[in-house]
Chain A
Amino acid sequence: METRLADWIKGTTQGDSANDILRACVHCGFCNATCPTYQLLGDELDGPRGRIYQIKQVLEGTPATRNTQLHLDRCLTCRACETTCPSGVDYGHLVDIGRAVVESQVRRPLNERLLHWLLREVLTRRGLFGGALRIGRALRFALPRALHAGLGEHRAPGAWPRRTHARKVLLLNGCTQPALAPSIDAATARVLDAIGVQALVDARSGCCGAIRHHLHDQRGALQNARRNIDAWWPQLDSGAVEAIVINASGCTTMVREYAWLLREDPAYAARARRVSDATRDLAQFLGPQLPLLLRCVRPASITRIALQNPCTLQHGLKLKHDVEQLLSALGAQLLPVDEPHLCCGSAGTYSLLQPKLALELRARKLAHLLHAQPQMILSANIGCLLHLAAGTAVALRHWIEWIDELIVTS
């Protein structure tokens, strides 16, 4: 596409990146076909092609408006469009750049700013969030229904393995997941233990930064990234751990982004690249270990499974079939699910900020997931799990919890 960027951004890092991405777009419109919000709203402004156009307009010098902001806010950043795009347009990075520019030009109303601040500060602080969550769960009856989604049910995590192994990996010392579903990290550690890999968690690390990143706090997000890099570097650099393994695909995607986000930071660029390169989604890590895994599992009792493939996994990380292959190999009968490419509406804090669209997408996703009457729905991301769980009585678990159930302890 023809571009004429405005002087104020031309030649800057952001400007050059944006220009390259825009030039790759040929305006074919294939992306709209797989964009969740375009399916719901049927407006060019609410599809990737139209958002690219709106961003282009701002970068070419037309001042952004609240309207521009609204349509960018509605984007789930699910990146289904990237999977569909035949021209290889790097939409995710373009929308990051566009949002930052729009954010700098358009002041949000007070209530929005407050909500963003609250989510950023509470969700990313484990102690604070854990406390709030306990209160919330206790007072569930008194909360509006819309907020129930985020609460989930507490399940006992079970024991953390005590064996040590020569093979070691680092897990993320996450923010919301350990508080909401501590069973996921524990199950991960147990499955890894079963195949002879020790899971370490570095207490100095924390939230991956995705929440701040999506709530327009670029500085805070970069601080999160730098803190994690600092925390992980010694073990990674010394070769003590073979990988950073993350069991929430949203977080995996974010950590894999550190290299891009810090590409201009001389102090961190090289280390960020190493960290991103060493980061694996749990499915990606376990895939090659399947022969080891097959030696320590029993036949599954719950087999009729509907798999929800989170956008961060299939579109962000382009790992479309990894979980599927793993589960099938372990005896799961994966039921057909329509529109597997569509986002469930969770999308980080999206479900809290755009509840109407999120609930519509959830209903659509659940209808597809439940269509073949599964015994259990499995996902790969904590956000999707909680968001979907609030809409159905069918059991929802992280897929690693399903595998954990199969492990025969020796």
Chain B
Amino acid sequence: MLLPEFDIDESRWSGVAEAPAPGRQLAVAQALRALLPADCVLSRDEELHPYECDGLAVFRQQPMLVVLPRTETEVRAVLLACRRLEVPVVARGAGTGLSGGAMPHAAGVVLSLARFDRILQIDPAARIARVQPGVRNLAVSEAAAAYGLFYAPDPSSQIACTIGGNVAENSGGVHCLKYGLTLHNVLGLRGCTIDGEPIELGGCALDAPGLDLLALSIGSEGLLLVVTEVILKLLPKPELAQVVMASFDDVGKAGEAVAAIIAAGIIPSGLEMMDRKATAAVEPFVRAGYDLAAEAILLAESDGTPDEVADEVRAMERVLQANGATAIAVSASEAERLRFWSGRKNAFPAAGRISPDYYCMDGTIPRNRLGHMLKAIERMEHKYGLKCMNVFHAGDGNLHPLILFDANRSGEWERADRFGADILELCVQLGGTITGEHGVGVEKLNSMCVQFSPAERAAFFSVKRAFDPPGLLNPGKCIPTLARCAEYGRMHVRHGQLPHPDLPRF
């Protein structure tokens, strides 16, 4: 056997929707009620139902139970009980995820960490914040502001999403081009293994001995451990930040302008693009002052000392002009800067104003393929008969096409789903990836078959087994099984070559 084995419990993996055996719910509920206060275990249908999905509401599954512990001791007790009773555990933060990563398991427990909402410590001298996983992303920066510090990753959902969820997904945001992802801004984690053992990875020092299990845990989508505390790196707040907003009469030109900025040696703190459909959707709500006549707008932020910003803004204006910007505006005040961003940050839900449902994609491609991708998406709009508005983290090639559909109309979701899969497959063909920051969850399992070979997926399962031998943490997410990929029937693609000709056949 040349391939590492797919050493998992296939039924638990594929049985996300299979109801528990009769009497099972009562037995597990009783076991958990013995460990937690009464208001911490939910078991009635009407209580479980609202937990059936996260921010991606097309994937739904009512859990067997929901637990809402308040302390690490309670989390450990729940994990121990679940391990003993062999109950799958799905950890959940604010439930804002967009890949169904927190979608429950029918025979499992949802472990909500929403009550872990305390900022335990802000140490301005060491520039760190020690927080519980249920703390909202934005709350960290708000608390750090008093010391002139901030927490850099700022996903669009930062008002609501939790740090624990950010760790699970390795969330990015509009400023990660310069400041990095969650991975780059988390110094340490404390959590529990499925065995209820406390585990600490990283810490307040920069290096830790052994393998970098901290890096491995960040973005592991709740499959490896349950996080109960996070040490975050805080950065000094730049003295000034300004946003240059440029309009383009062609989306391709805007894409070229992005490459030109980078090629000029400028790393803007944020570099975002929205197409006309996106600006039209958000403008009525945020009144950001977007140019509604432009086919695309670029938002490029510069931060630093006032002199530095002035310098960089001038340089960016020059590049943008040279690349065909039809209009350029520079934020004149902090309020205006925030207003420019607010449209971008509210772009996803604002899609709810022009369409009952939207499906947000998250592929990443090399920046220079942006124009190619956009043209392809336009063709797909016709193919599937659905509209798609486009929002990008242009600076790092991360696309968020929002496919608009109406779930109440039969067949529309299925078309949206295929539309999305097509986009992701093209991302892989262009040398990119199926998810830049939202995670695989339950949503992109099929696309994982396209991006990774069976041996690579087996390696993922090896990691899973090393942390979680019984396979109880968030089973059925993130990594597809051999059977699932066989059923999906699409081939593994590598950079436009079908399928990996660089490997000898054996």
Q: Given the complex of chains A and B, what is the CA–CA distance between A30 and B350 in angstroms?
A: 12
B357 beta carbon closer than 8 Å to chain A: yes
Q: What size tier do the contact residues of chain B reach?
A: 35 or more
Which of these binds chain A: B41-49, B82-90, B211-219, B467-475? B41-49
A33 beta carbon closer than 8 Å to chain B: yes
Q: Given the complex of chains A and B, what is the CA–CA distance between A31 and B94 in angstroms?
A: 11
Given A2-B408, A88-B352, A67 and B157 touching (CB < 8 A)? no
Verify B353–A29 contact, CB threshold 8 A.
no
Verify B408–A3 contact, CB threshold 8 A.
yes
Q: Shortest CB–CB separation between residue A88 and chain B, in angstroms?
A: 5
Given A24-B352, A26-B349, A2 and B407 touching (CB < 8 A)? yes
A234 beta carbon closer than 8 Å to chain B: no
Q: Given the complex of chains A and B, what is the CA–CA distance between A23 and B112 in angstroms?
A: 26
Verify A33–B136 contact, CB threshold 8 A.
yes
Verify A42–B49 contact, CB threshold 8 A.
no
Residue from A26, A30, A54, A85 in contact with B50 in the complex, judged by beta carbons closer than 8 Å = A54
Verify B157–A29 contact, CB threshold 8 A.
yes
Q: Given the complex of chains A and B, what is the CA–CA distance between A95 and B96 in angstroms?
A: 22
Q: Which of A107-165 contact B (CB under 8 A)?
A: none
Q: Given the complex of chains A and B, what is the CA–CA distance between A49 and B96 in angstroms?
A: 11
Residue from A3, A23, A49, A87 in contact with B350 in the complex, judged by beta carbons closer than 8 Å = A87
Q: Shortest CB–CB separation between residue A101 and chain B, in angstroms?
A: 14
Residue from B44, B68, B349 in contact with A43 in the complex, judged by beta carbons closer than 8 Å = B68
Q: Given the complex of chains A and B, what is the CA–CA distance between A391 and B271 in angstroms?
A: 48
Q: Shortest CB–CB separation between residue A286 and chain B, in angstroms?
A: 24
Verify B50–A28 contact, CB threshold 8 A.
no
Instruction: Name the residue of chain A whose CB is nearest to the CB of B56.
Output: A27
A32 beta carbon closer than 8 Å to chain B: yes
Q: Given the complex of chains A and B, what is the CA–CA distance between A45 and B352 in angstroms?
A: 22
Verify A85–B349 contact, CB threshold 8 A.
yes
Verify B285–A26 contact, CB threshold 8 A.
no
Chain B residue contacts of A45, Cβ below 8 A: 42, 47, 50
Mark contacts of A60-84 with chain B using CB atoms, 8 A cut-off: 1 yes-contact digit, 0 otherwise. Answer: 0010110110000000000000001
Residue from B46, B96, B352 in contact with A87 in the complex, judged by beta carbons closer than 8 Å = B352
Verify B50–A50 contact, CB threshold 8 A.
yes
Instruction: Name the residue of chain A whose CB is nearest to the CB of B348.
Output: A28
Verify A68–B46 contact, CB threshold 8 A.
yes
B328 beta carbon closer than 8 Å to chain A: no
B117 beta carbon closer than 8 Å to chain A: yes
Given A2-B407, A27-B53, A42-B114, A84 and B159 touching (CB < 8 A)? yes
Verify B57–A44 contact, CB threshold 8 A.
no
Chain A residue contacts of B50, Cβ below 8 A: 44-45, 49-50, 53-54, 57
B419 beta carbon closer than 8 Å to chain A: no
Q: Shortest CB–CB separation between residue A130 and chain B, in angstroms?
A: 40
A267 beta carbon closer than 8 Å to chain B: no
B51 beta carbon closer than 8 Å to chain A: yes
Residue from A23, A38, A57 in contact with B46 in the complex, judged by beta carbons closer than 8 Å = A57
Instruction: Name the residue of chain B whose CB is nearest to the CB of A54.
Output: B50
Q: Given the complex of chains A and B, what is the CA–CA distance between A53 and B49 in angstroms?
A: 8
Instruction: Name the residue of chain B whose CB is nearest to the CB of A20.
Output: B356
Chain B residue contacts of A84, Cβ below 8 A: 159
Q: Shortest CB–CB separation between residue B140 and chain A, in angstroms?
A: 13
B55 beta carbon closer than 8 Å to chain A: yes
Chain A residue contacts of B49, Cβ below 8 A: 53-54, 57, 62
Chain B residue contacts of A68, Cβ below 8 A: 46
Q: Given the complex of chains A and B, what is the CA–CA distance between A50 and B348 in angstroms?
A: 19
Q: Given the complex of chains A and B, what is the CA–CA distance between A30 and B137 in angstroms?
A: 12
Mark contacts of A6-38 with chain B using CB atoms, 8 A cut-off: 1 yes-contact digit, 0 otherwise. Answer: 000000000000000001111111111110001
Verify A29–B114 contact, CB threshold 8 A.
no
Q: Given the complex of chains A and B, what is the CA–CA distance between A42 and B55 in angstroms?
A: 17
Verify A32–B160 contact, CB threshold 8 A.
yes
B426 beta carbon closer than 8 Å to chain A: no
Chain A residue contacts of B357, Cβ below 8 A: 1-2, 26
A299 beta carbon closer than 8 Å to chain B: no
Mark contacts of B109-120 with chain A using CB atoms, 8 A cut-off: 1 yes-contact digit, 0 otherwise. Answer: 000101101000
Q: Shortest CB–CB separation between residue A33 and chain B, in angstroms?
A: 4
Instruction: Name the residue of chain B whose CB is nearest to the CB of A67.
Output: B46
Verify A24–B46 contact, CB threshold 8 A.
no
Verify B46–A26 contact, CB threshold 8 A.
no
Residue from B46, B112, B157 in contact with A28 in the complex, judged by beta carbons closer than 8 Å = B157
Chain A residue contacts of B346, Cβ below 8 A: 86
Chain B residue contacts of A44, Cβ below 8 A: 50-51, 95, 112, 114
Chain A CB count within 10 A is highest, among B45, B55, B349, for B349
Chain B residue contacts of A43, Cβ below 8 A: 42, 68, 112, 114
Q: Which of B127-172 contact A (CB under 8 A)?
A: 134, 136, 138, 157, 159-161
Instruction: Name the residue of chain B whose CB is nearest to the CB of A38.
Output: B114
Q: Given the complex of chains A and B, what is the CA–CA distance between A29 and B56 in angstroms?
A: 10
Residue from B51, B95, B351 in contact with A26 in the complex, judged by beta carbons closer than 8 Å = B351
Verify B134–A67 contact, CB threshold 8 A.
no
Chain A residue contacts of B47, Cβ below 8 A: 45, 67
Chain B residue contacts of A86, Cβ below 8 A: 282, 285, 346, 348-350, 352
Q: Which of B30-83 contact A (CB under 8 A)?
A: 42, 44-47, 49-51, 53-55, 57-58, 68
Instruction: Name the residue of chain B whose CB is nearest to the CB of A44.
Output: B50
Instruction: Name the residue of chain A whose CB is nearest to the CB of B70.
Output: A42
B392 beta carbon closer than 8 Å to chain A: no
Verify B94–A29 contact, CB threshold 8 A.
yes
B358 beta carbon closer than 8 Å to chain A: yes
Q: Shortest CB–CB separation between residue A63 and chain B, in angstroms?
A: 9
Chain A residue contacts of B44, Cβ below 8 A: 65, 67
Q: Which of A83-108 contact B (CB under 8 A)?
A: 84-89
Instruction: Name the residue of chain A whose CB is nearest to the CB of B139.
Output: A33
Residue from A29, A57, A64 in contact with B160 in the complex, judged by beta carbons closer than 8 Å = A29
Chain B residue contacts of A28, Cβ below 8 A: 55, 96, 157, 160, 348-349, 352
Q: Given the complex of chains A and B, what is the CA–CA distance between A24 and B161 in angstroms?
A: 20
Instruction: Name the residue of chain A whose CB is nearest to the CB of B117.
Output: A42
Chain A residue contacts of B45, Cβ below 8 A: 62
Chain B residue contacts of A33, Cβ below 8 A: 94, 136, 138, 159-160
Given A44-B114, A50-B50, A65-B44, A87 and B159 touching (CB < 8 A)? no
Mark contacts of B392-433 with chain A using CB atoms, 8 A cut-off: 1 yes-contact digit, 0 otherwise. Answer: 000000000000000110000000000000000000000000
Chain B residue contacts of A27, Cβ below 8 A: 53-55, 57
Q: Shortest CB–CB separation between residue A100 and chain B, in angstroms?
A: 18
Instruction: Name the residue of chain B whose CB is nearest to the CB of A34.
Output: B159
Chain B residue contacts of A1, Cβ below 8 A: 57, 356-357, 407
Instruction: Name the residue of chain B whose CB is nearest to the CB of A23.
Output: B356
Q: Given the complex of chains A and B, what is the CA–CA distance between A270 and B194 in angstroms?
A: 63
Q: Given the complex of chains A and B, what is the CA–CA distance between A288 and B157 in angstroms?
A: 37
Chain B residue contacts of A23, Cβ below 8 A: 356, 408
Instruction: Name the residue of chain A whose CB is nearest to the CB of B113.
Output: A42
Instruction: Name the residue of chain B whose CB is nearest to the CB of A39.
Output: B117
Q: Which of B261-304 contact A (CB under 8 A)?
A: 282, 285
Q: Given the complex of chains A and B, what is the CA–CA distance between A95 and B25 in angstroms?
A: 31
Given A33-B136, A54-B46, A26 and B157 touching (CB < 8 A)? no
Q: Which of B148-202 contact A (CB under 8 A)?
A: 157, 159-161
Chain A residue contacts of B350, Cβ below 8 A: 86-87
Chain B CB count within 10 A is highest, among A30, A34, A68, A84, for A30
19 more A-B contacts (CB under 8 A) besides A2-B357, A85-B349? A1-B356, A1-B357, A23-B408, A26-B348, A26-B352, A26-B358, A27-B57, A29-B54, A33-B138, A42-B68, A42-B115, A45-B42, A54-B50, A57-B49, A84-B159, A86-B282, A86-B348, A87-B349, A88-B285
**Which 9 A-B pairs rank lowest in CB-CB distance, beginning with the nearest?**
A87-B352, A2-B407, A86-B349, A42-B115, A33-B160, A42-B114, A53-B50, A86-B346, A26-B352
- Of the A-B pairs whose beta carbons lie under 8 Å apart in the complex, a sample of 24, sorted by A's number, is A2-B357, A4-B408, A26-B57, A26-B357, A26-B358, A27-B54, A27-B57, A28-B160, A28-B349, A29-B157, A30-B349, A32-B160, A33-B138, A33-B159, A34-B159, A39-B117, A43-B68, A43-B112, A43-B114, A44-B50, A44-B95, A53-B50, A86-B352, A89-B352
